[in-house]
């Protein structure tokens, strides 16, 4: 049996897609609905069967597409409040600033628009490692779903969640951001550190869809400590993302994207 690296696995079966149209963003909303509304019950159900919020109007969205079938396996977004609308906030600013450890790192010292928040990472149940896994939006393990996919595909599926995380980091790097914030469980942070993503905890644990805390990753740590295989995967994802989009540095002009109104179908 041929042994592939993580990067080769990813490139063989998946490609990262920048959601630059309303239709592609709605594909992300559908994945989120399936995970966060139907499966987890964190968000209300609706007739459109798409989960979105006000932050989607000032966020970049990524999808992970299965090459052979064209199925979108997962999604992630990078939220960047527009610099010309100072009252727009990131989710952690709206919900979790009470838990901030400003003596560790104070995000208010960063220029507005020079950082963003990674959120809404979701992977379809059919692409998860365990078919009946519940109450987790993604897993950080090899994927082995019982689906229509061939045995070779199931055996060689890459780490989808890590690929999406690296997609979000590539977006932040292309935006020339100083850093990014993520709300996550401390145990997930410990796992990410083993992969070479040294997020710094900058907030106390708080009840935010379970016990989570604010974490910050500075730009100089975006990928320099990744394991050799994950660095190769990041290089593939960054190249694919850079070929699809041309982002302007945050202080060149206000951040603008088309409307994400889910009712306009």
Tell me the sheet residues that pair with 182.
Answer: 118, 215
pLDDT in tens, 167-206: 999 999 999 999 999 999 999 999 899 999 999 999 999 9
Beta strands (DSSP E) in the chain are: 14-18, 59-66, 72-79, 115-123, 179-184, 200-201, 206-207, 211-218
Residue 75 lies in a domain: yes
Q: Which residues have C-beta within 8 Å of that of residue 66, sequence separation ≥ 6?
A: 13, 14, 72, 73, 127, 149
For 151, other C-beta atoms within 10 Å of its C-beta total 7
Q: What is the mean pLDDT of residues 242-256?
A: 58
For 109, other C-beta atoms within 10 Å of its C-beta total 7
Tell me the sheet residues that pair with 217.
Answer: 180
Q: What is the mean pLDDT of residues 30-56?
A: 93
* Tally of structural domains, the chain: 1
Candidate from 14-18, 29-33, 83-87 with smallest mean pLDDT: 83-87
Q: What is the mean pLDDT of residues 31-60?
A: 93
What's the CA gap between 169 and 180, in Å, rounded? 8
Helix 6-13 vs helix 228-244: angle between axes, to the nearest 10 degrees?
30
For residues 83 and 56, which has the higher predicted lDDT (pLDDT)?
56
pLDDT in tens, 176-186: 999 999 999 99
Q: Which residues have C-beta within 8 Å of that of residue 246, sequence separation ≥ 6?
A: none
What's the CA gap between 82 and 113, in Å, rounded? 7
Residue 249 lies in a domain: no
pLDDT in tens, 221-240: 999 899 998 999 999 999 99
Share of the chain above pLDDT 90, in %: 59
Q: What is the pLDDT of residue 147?
A: 44
In this structure, is the dihedral angle defined by the CA atoms of residues 247, 224, 76 and 99, taken in order, positive or negative? negative
What's the CA gap between 158 and 94, in Å, rounded? 34
Residue 252 lies in a domain: no
Domain at 61, CATH number? 3.40.630.30
Decide if pLDDT at 250 tops 80: no
Question: Which has the closest alpha carbon to 60: 101, 113, 104, 107?
Answer: 113
Pair 127, 160: CB distance under 8 Å: yes
Q: What is the pLDDT of residue 263?
A: 42
The pTM for the full model equals 0.83
pLDDT tier for residue 125 given thresholds of 50, 70 and 90: confident
Residue 250 lies in a domain: no
Residue 100 lies in a domain: yes
What's the CA gap between 181 and 213, in Å, rounded? 10
Residue 260 lies in a domain: no
Decide if pLDDT at 130 tops 60: no
Average pLDDT across the chain, whole number? 83
Structural domain containing residue 88: 6-244
Share of the chain above pLDDT 70, in %: 79
Kindly tell me the number of DSSP H helices and DSSP E strands found in the chain: 7, 8
Residue 256 lies in a domain: no
Q: What is the pLDDT of residue 99?
A: 95
pLDDT in tens, 10-19: 888 899 999 9
What's the CA gap between 165 and 178, in Å, rounded? 17
Where are the alpha helices (H) located in the chain, listed in sequence order?
6-13, 22-32, 91-95, 151-156, 160-174, 186-195, 228-244
Residue 261 lies in a domain: no
Pair 117, 182: CB distance under 8 Å: yes
> Which tokens belong to 212?
């989570």
């Amino acid at each position: 049996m041929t042994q592939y690296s993580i990067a080769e696995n990813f490139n063989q079966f998946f490609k990262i897609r920048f959601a630059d149209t309303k239709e592609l963003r709605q594909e992300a909303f559908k994945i989120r609905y399936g995970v966060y509304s139907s499966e987890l019950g964190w968000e209300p159900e609706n007739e459109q069967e798409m989960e979105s919020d006000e932050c989607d109007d000032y966020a970049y969205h990524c999808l992970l597409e299965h090459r052979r079938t064209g199925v979108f396996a997962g999604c992630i977004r990078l939220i960047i409040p527009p610099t010309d609308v100072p009252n727009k906030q990131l989710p952690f600013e709206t919900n979790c600033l009470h838990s901030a450890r400003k003596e560790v790192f104070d995000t208010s010292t960063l220029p507005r628009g020079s950082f963003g928040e990674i959120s809404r990472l979701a992977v379809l149940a059919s692409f998860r490692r365990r078919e009946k896994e519940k109450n987790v939006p993604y897993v950080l393990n090899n994927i082995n779903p019982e689906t229509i996919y061939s045995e070779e595909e199931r055996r060689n599926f890459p780490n989808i969640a890590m690929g999406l995380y690296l997609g979000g980091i590539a977006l932040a790097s292309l935006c020339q951001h100083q850093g990014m914030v993520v709300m996550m469980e401390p145990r997930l942070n410990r796992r990410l550190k083993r992969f070479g993503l040294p997020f710094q905890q900058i907030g106390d644990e708080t009840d935010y869809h379970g016990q989570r805390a604010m974490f910050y990753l500075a730009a100089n740590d975006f990928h320099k400590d990744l394991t050799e295989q994950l660095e190769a995967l990041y290089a593939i994802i960054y190249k694919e993302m850079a070929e699809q989009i041309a982002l302007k540095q945050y202080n060149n002009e206000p951040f603008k994207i088309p409307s994400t109104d889910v009712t306009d179908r």
